[in-house]
Chain A
Amino acid sequence: MNCLQFDESIALYLYDELSEEQRAGFETHLAACAQCGARLEETRRLHRVLSERPSPQPTPELLVQCRAALDDALDRELAGVSWKSLFEQWASTLGAISRLPAAATLALVVLGFTLGWTLRPHSGAVRGGPGNATLSAMGDTDLNNMRINAISQVAPSPQNGEVRITVNAERQMTLEGSLDDPRIRQVLVEAVKGYDNPGIRHDSMEVLARQADEPPVRSALLYAIQNDPNAGVRLDALNAAAQRMEWCPELRQALLNTVEHDRNRGVRVAAIDFLADHADQATLPALERLATRDPDRYVRLKSVRAIRKLQGY
């Protein structure tokens, strides 16, 4: 065991995570190297300092508050499930597919009195004529949030007093579903690639990262790593791709582009770390260039360490 390997093993030794063979090598080196011995003692002292950190215990009041808040949240969850089921049945019957943020053409069909009455407590109500028919809403939609661009048809029905209105509108709506639904996934992919709010891009990426190897998600993550204007979002995309995506030439190239061209030091260093974690010799030339020519000293140091790791030191 050399000094670099010893240094990398100190924490594992103190936590008793070394194998018998590794421990023997560690202790042999320890007996022969005073400098490494000093490093070991320094880390032991660090652990003692860290023991000064208090271990916060939950107070009974906090626990009660948490349980009460969870109780309320579960009640709301259960209430939402029944409306969601109704909505899903209705949507599948009509074959409704919605996309954000594009305008959608909606066919608003006034349902029969019984269904409309059932949905009434959770929908915006539009009063019709003296027959008092209510307009059903989809999910959380409120007609007041809708901007109607055009009305293409108004078709009253003399038999039952209902009316069919076909509108071209933009409206806010809530979509709920699983990431396994390609429609949900598509909305999130578009948000990652083009939405102007970095918080939304970040949140969308967090969700998508669970399926990092699906082709549209993969493409979105690789795009975000290299093109997102926000460093925090680029870092998130990098973490998600490097930790959850299968290693592949596209990912390697995205990381190499990042280490050489990203304007944020933290993102570049994170990319170097991930390159070092994958034993891909094709990255060596780029790392060698960084190690000798990069103007940032810390980046040069990290590149040297990454090269050593790739070379098995």
Chain B
Amino acid sequence: MDGCLTLAGNIPAQSSSLAGEDESALIRRAQHGDRAAFDALVRLYDQQVLRLVLKMVQSPDEARDLYQEAFLKIYRSLSRFRFESRFSTWLYRVVMNVCFDHLRRQKARDEVQGVDSEDSDTDFFQTIADDQPGRDPERTLRASEIRRRIGRALARLGPRERMVFELRHFQGLKLRAIGELCGTSEETAKNSLFRATQKLRLQLGDLV
């Protein structure tokens, strides 16, 4: 699953006494209740996980909640990991399910409350400081508007469409890998990608 290598990233250097211990040994120790081993596993993946969930949510608080929910689920179900696949694949599948469930809850909540993403005033990306403070103010304003429009268009996608598009376009995963991560088929992932692209074209057509 080459696509997963992109997400897995490089194993960061460890300064703890568990440095150098291979991942399989850590997993086995964590499965037997070794808390330090589980903490070490978390450190191997949590930055990438946090980076991923930040793309799905509207605030750092929500990202923190999803991070916790994902790793608690991993902790509770770790005994069911049988080394039949790569650990990173299994882990990111749990993370994807958590993100997917969050997006569905958000969608249902918005519908119940009659909120259209058009009306939403929460746009996390608006709070990200422009990294070029000396830029032309007009260009800065336009760039900010484009970012807001993109955020809104993405928020209007269905949960599965949003996840597939995020993973394919922004993370660079192959559709086959996305299908496996999301517990669905490559064909379903393709259909979701097609629908997402159509919707984004409609929403952002005047910007292209």
Contact = CB atoms under 8 A, between A and B. Distances in A.
By size class, the interface of chain B is 35 or more
B169 A47 contact: yes
Nearest to B38: A74
Interface in B164-208: 168-170, 174-175, 184, 188, 190-191, 193-195, 197, 200-201, 204-205, 207-208
Which of A55, A58, A235: most chain B CB closer than 10 A?
A58
A124 interface: no
Which of A45, A57, A66: most chain B CB closer than 10 A?
A66
A199 B146 CA distance: 34
B169 A52 contact: no
A77 interface: yes
B68 A49 contact: no
B50 A66 contact: yes
A46 interface: yes
Contacts of A48: 208
B46 interface: yes
A105 to B, nearest CB: 33
B125 A56 contact: yes
Interface in A263-304: 266, 270, 273, 277
Given A43-B201, A206-B101, A70 B72 contact: yes
Given A42-B208, A74-B75, A235 B68 contact: no
B35 interface: yes
B162 interface: no
B51 interface: yes
Contacts of A57: 51, 54
Which of A48, A54, A63, A78: most chain B CB closer than 10 A?
A54
A63 B194 contact: no
Given A49-B146, A52-B147, A277 B108 contact: no
B42 interface: yes
A45 B112 CA distance: 35
Interface in A63-99: 63, 65-67, 69-71, 73-74, 77-78
A199 B104 CA distance: 12
Main secondary structure of the interface of B (DSSP, over half): helix
B51 A58 contact: yes
Interface stretch (A4-12, A131-139, A149-157): A4-12
Contacts of B150: 49-50, 52-53
A198 interface: yes
A12 B191 CA distance: 10
B50 A62 contact: yes
B63 A62 contact: yes
Q: Pick the 8 closest A-B CB pairs, nearest first.
A: A232-B108, A45-B208, A232-B111, A58-B50, A11-B197, A66-B67, A56-B54, A53-B150
Given A55-B55, A243-B188, 19 more contacts: A17-B174, A17-B190, A45-B208, A46-B201, A49-B204, A50-B204, A52-B146, A54-B128, A55-B51, A56-B51, A56-B125, A58-B54, A62-B50, A63-B46, A67-B46, A70-B68, A206-B105, A231-B112, A232-B109
Interface of A: 8, 10-12, 15, 17, 42-43, 45-50, 52-59, 62-63, 65-67, 69-71, 73-74, 77-78, 198-199, 202, 206, 230-233, 235-236, 239, 243, 266, 270, 273, 277
